[in-house]
């Protein structure tokens, strides 16, 4: 069974994040693994959430009552990804030696894009519905989980989208509306239900709300503390997020 294309590319382009899996396997704790990897606890969980979303299945599992804070272990899929990363390490030196000069590596670096969007969901195109100059692209980002994206028809052609094309959906945290679980849905919007994993308050500005979906994927939203308090939303509470299809950006492998 092969890895999702976007996860495979992530292993090549951002190996430092995959290396975190090795630290988790060795330490058995997110806190200790983050320290070994030179990351903050928050940055470590950000990396894990991104990897889990790209893999479409959890790579890291929590251990209730783990020692050292944040007990964790690799899932079977996580162990498989780690083995692939270790093979990549063995090949890395050969690749670097094969480069003709430093400019070759600089060129590769420019071609490997990072994005500021906190939510990156891997999926496949299930349907393309023309809407005038735009197309509504229906994506399955996990089994039974559908996300709609609205892009121009020109973008559909430029990305060469068709049924079955693998894409990554990018959604900025500030584009998600955090709502009560039983509030009325807005017609035409994406609507996803989940559970608040945690709320990270900032000294100044919106709070970061991490939401776990039923299939294990994680979303990150930003909302004002006063709004969250007014809705009575806290960690462990069920919640609903909405976002317009026009807020979903799509990318495909080069």
Q: Are residues 57 and 130 in the same domain?
A: no
Examine residue 200 and state whether it is found in any structural domain, yes or no. Answer: yes
User: Given pLDDT bands bounded at 50, 70 and 90, which one contains residue 136?
Assistant: very high
pTM of the model: 0.63
Predicted local confidence at residue 214, as pLDDT: 86
Best CA proximity match to 118, nearest among 253, 252, 247, 254 = 247
148 pLDDT more than 90: yes
Assess whether pLDDT exceeds 50 at residue 66: no
Residue with tokens 């994040």: 17
Are 19 and 92 in a shared domain? yes
Same domain, 196 and 135: no
Q: What is the mean pLDDT of residues 48-75?
A: 75
Q: What is the pLDDT of residues 159-215, one digit of tens each?
A: 899 999 989 899 999 999 999 999 999 999 999 999 999 999 988 889 999 999 988
Which residue among 111, 133, 156 closes a domain?
111
pLDDT value, residue 110? 46
Q: Which domain covers residue 152, as residue numbers?
A: 121-167+247-251
Q: Is residue 116 part of a domain?
A: no
Answer yes or no: do 230 and 177 share one domain.
Answer: yes
pLDDT digits (tens, 9 = 90+) for 9-46: 555 556 667 788 889 999 988 899 999 988 888 888 88
Complete DSSP assignment for the chain: -PPPHHHHHHHHH-HHHHHHHHHHHHHSBHHHHHHHHT--HHHHHHHHHHHHHHHTS-SEEE-TT-TTSSBEEE-HHHHHHHHHHHHHHHHHHHHHHH-SSHHHHHHHHHHS-----SEEEEEEEEEEEEETTEEEEEEEEETTEEEEEEEEHHHHHHTT--TT-EEEEEE-GGGPEEE-TTSPPPTTSEEEEEEEEEEE--SSSPEEEEEE-TTS-EEEEEE-HHHHHHHT--TT-EEEEEE-GGG-EEE---
Mean pLDDT of 126-146: 94
Residue 209, both tokens? 């709300």
Tokens representing residue 198 in the block: 């945690």
Residue 125 lies in a domain: yes
Predicted confidence band at 112 (pLDDT cuts at 50, 70, 90)?
very low
- At a CB cut-off of 8 Å and minimum separation 6, what does 92 contact? 15
Q: Which has more confidence, 211 or 55?
A: 211
- Residue 111: the pLDDT is 45
* CATH code for the domain of 76: 1.10.10.10
Burial per residue of 73-105, b for 16 or more beta-carbon CB atoms within 10 angstroms, e otherwise = bbbebbeebbeebeeeeeeeeeeeeeeeeeeee
């Amino acid at each position: 069974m092969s890895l999702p294309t976007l996860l495979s590319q992530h292993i090549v382009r951002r190996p430092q994040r995959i290396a975190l899996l090795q630290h988790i396997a060795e330490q058995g704790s997110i806190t200790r693994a983050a320290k070994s990897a030179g990351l903050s606890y928050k940055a470590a969980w950000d990396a894990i959430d991104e990897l889990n979303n790209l893999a479409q299945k959890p790579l890291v599992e929590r251990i209730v009552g783990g020692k050292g804070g944040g007990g964790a272990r690799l899932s079977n899929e996580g162990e498989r990804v780690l083995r692939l990363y270790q093979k990549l390490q063995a090949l890395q030196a050969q690749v670097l030696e094969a480069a003709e000069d430093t400019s070759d590596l600089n060129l590769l670096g420019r071609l490997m894009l990072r994005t500021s969007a906190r939510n990156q969901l891997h999926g496949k195109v299930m349907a393309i519905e023309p809407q005038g100059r735009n197309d509504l692209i229906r994506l399955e980002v996990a089994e039974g989980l559908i996300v709609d994206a609205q892009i121009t028809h020109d973008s559909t052609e430029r990305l060469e989208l068709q049924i079955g094309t693998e894409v990554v959906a990018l959604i900025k945290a500030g584009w998600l509306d955090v709502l009560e679980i039983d509030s009325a849905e807005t017609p035409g919007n994406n609507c996803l239900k989940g559970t608040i994993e945690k709320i990270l308050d900032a000294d100044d500005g919106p709070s970061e709300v991490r939401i776990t979906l039923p299939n294990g994927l994680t979303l990150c939203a930003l909302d004002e503390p006063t709004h969250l308090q007014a809705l009575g939303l806290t960690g462990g509470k069920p919640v609903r997020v909405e976002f317009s299809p026009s807020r979903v950006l799509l990318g495909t492998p080069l």
